[in-house]
Amino acid sequence: INYQTARFLISAPRLALCPPDTGAEVAFAGRSNAGKSSAINTLTRQKALARTSKTPGRTQLINFFTLANDEAYRLVDLPGYGFAKVPDQVKLEWQRHLSEYLYQREALRGLMLVMDVRHPLSEFDQMMLGWADEKAMPVHILLTKADKLKPGAAKSSLLAVRRQLAEWEDLVSVQLFSALKRQGVDEACARMDAWLCA
Ligand code: GDP
């Protein structure tokens, strides 16, 4: 699939308002500021396909993008947030929408979980992994901002995350990524191809 063909389709505030649950989609999740928007923009070679919201607690939308002008193939941007800054009620509401999406969305083929290579496996990440595990949903982890570490340190972080998730190696894969250096693009696209074209 040529991910450069990604185009905005629609924003949905909750599952009931998502596009029809047919075809195949890959969703991106990440704690706020992890680098999710940059990863989506890098993978699709677009400057501002995924916009970053720097306002915690404001209405969070699920954004859908078509691939190759075909609504049957989609990328989905699930906004994350900084846990600490959001009021409990907003937190719970958003957790409900996210878990609903993950549990019920038939078209979902896999989850791309974006983590800052320097702070992997946050509370948010563990929650997403827990839900994915319950649904046996495959997860591919992008350890992004790899350019911020020396190569040896980035490799150590990769191996440490792999080790911590070894129990789930059938469902979870992990790679280094950098939006700045365009590192890891082919590997990430190959994973999405495998999910979308299966
Ligand atoms: P989001 O909130 O997860 O969508 O995060 P953003 O994509 O907006 O990125 C948060 C911050 O990290 C921004 O200042 C980005 O420029 C920076 N950033 C994202 N990816 C990378 C990367 O691969 N390398 C470096 N050095 N900075 C990055």
Domain containing 192 — which CATH number? 3.40.50.300
Sign of CA dihedral 184, 1, 44, 32: negative
Q: Whole-angstrom Cα distance, residue 130 to residue 39? A: 23
For the CA of 40, the closest atom of ligand 1 is 7
- The interface predicted TM-score of the complex, written ipTM, equals 0.99
Number of domains observed in the structure of the chain: 1
Residue 155's contacts (CB-CB under 8 Å, 6 or more residues apart) are 176
**What is the tens place of the pLDDT at every residue in 138-197?**
999 999 999 999 999 999 999 999 999 999 999 999 999 999 999 999 999 999 999 999
For the CA of 38, the closest atom of ligand 1 is 7
- Residue 105: give the domain boundaries: 3-196
The Å distance, Cα 34 to ligand 1 centre, comes to 6
**What is the tens place of the pLDDT at every residue in 6-61?**
999 999 988 889 999 999 999 999 998 899 999 999 999 998 888 754 555 455 78
Protein residue closest via CA to atom 15 of ligand 1: 35
**What is the tens place of the pLDDT at every residue in 50-105?**
875 455 545 578 999 999 999 999 999 997 766 666 788 888 888 888 899 999 99
Q: Is the CB of 183 under 6 A from ligand 1?
A: no
Q: Is the CB of 71 under 6 A from ligand 1?
A: no
Q: Is the CB of 33 under 6 A from ligand 1?
A: yes
Query: Taking a C-beta distance cutoff of 8 angstroms, is the pair 113, 142 a contact?
Result: yes
Q: What is the pTM of this model?
A: 0.95
